[in-house]
Structure 1
Amino acid sequence: MKDLIFDNFQNAVDESLLRHKSILDIITKLQESEGRINRAVAKSVTNCGCIRVDAKKQELPKEDDDIEQLSNALKTHIEGKLCDSCREVIEHEIGNNLFYLTSLCNALDLNLYDIFIKEYDKINTLGRYTLR
């Protein structure tokens, strides 16, 4: 069932992409959409203020500590919670990014669901040891 949702989305993107069919157009639009996500997050901090960034050096646990302690020690540096308005803008920008990522898959004859499943399997197999 879930693969049908991915396939339907991938087909809908393929049918709706008119102006930016060139691989060069797709990859530059994908990069632009990534920048727009970053800008929307930054605006949540600088314009709205619903979230705050409190960044400092990540303090890593001692060498003999386990992976669980490493995970607990590392922080996102985000304080606060997105307001509804900022959440809506960021979701919109991520949606655009998914559109262009899917367009890239279409142009290269890649199946988005297959990529998703491979990544999911890798995460499940390696767990926290993927170390991303």
Structure 2
Amino acid sequence: MKDVICDQFQDTVSQLLIKHKSILDVLTKQQESSTRVNRAIVKAVTSCGCVEIHAIKQEIGDEISMENIHEALNNHVKGQLCEQCREVVEQELGNHLFYIAALCNSLDLNLLDIILKEKKKINTLGIYNMLR
């Protein structure tokens, strides 16, 4: 079922993308949408305050095994998105996915195939995927 949803999404994007059909437009719109995702998250921190960012250097001691390394690392986010910020971030991520699908369409790539290849790669590499 999920593969059908992904393919349907990509097909719908193909049908709806009229004004920005050129790959140059798609590339710039995709970059803009990435910026808007970042901006929505920053606004959740700086305007709303529902989340905070506490970034510090991540120390990984020699005694920590690769299997337990994820427990030693922190994403630096404190708190949770409020409902309003969550809605904005989800909307911006949705727009970003739209332009990623549009880029795939422009280059005759299948979004699901890309997702499946990436999933296979990370499953194969396992914890060592974090080193890239």
Q: TM-score, normalised by structure 1?
A: 0.95
- The count of residues paired between Structure 1 and Structure 2 equals 131
Q: Report the residue type matching 1:56 in the other structure.
A: I
Q: Which contiguous aligned blocks of 4+ residues in structure 1 show a shift greater than 6 angstroms? A: none
The aligned counterpart of 2:37 is 37
What secondary structure does 1:79 align onto?
strand
- Work out the CA distance in 1 between the residues paired with 2:14 and 2:106: 9
1:127 aligns with 2:126: yes
Note the residue ranges of structure 1 that are not aligned, 5 or more in a row.
none
Which piece of structure 1 moves more, 67-76 or 3-12?
A: 67-76
Note the residue ranges of structure 2 that are not aligned, 5 or more in a row.
none
CA contact (8 A) 1:105 1:112 kept: yes
Q: TM-score, normalised by structure 2?
A: 0.95
- Work out the CA distance in 2 between the residues paired with 1:65 and 1:44: 33
- Work out the CA distance in 2 between the residues paired with 1:128 and 1:61: 17
TM-superposed deviation, 1:8: 0.6
- Work out the CA distance in 1 between the residues paired with 2:78 and 2:35: 22
CA contact (8 A) 1:50 1:81 kept: yes
Structure 1 vs Structure 2 CA RMSD: 1.0
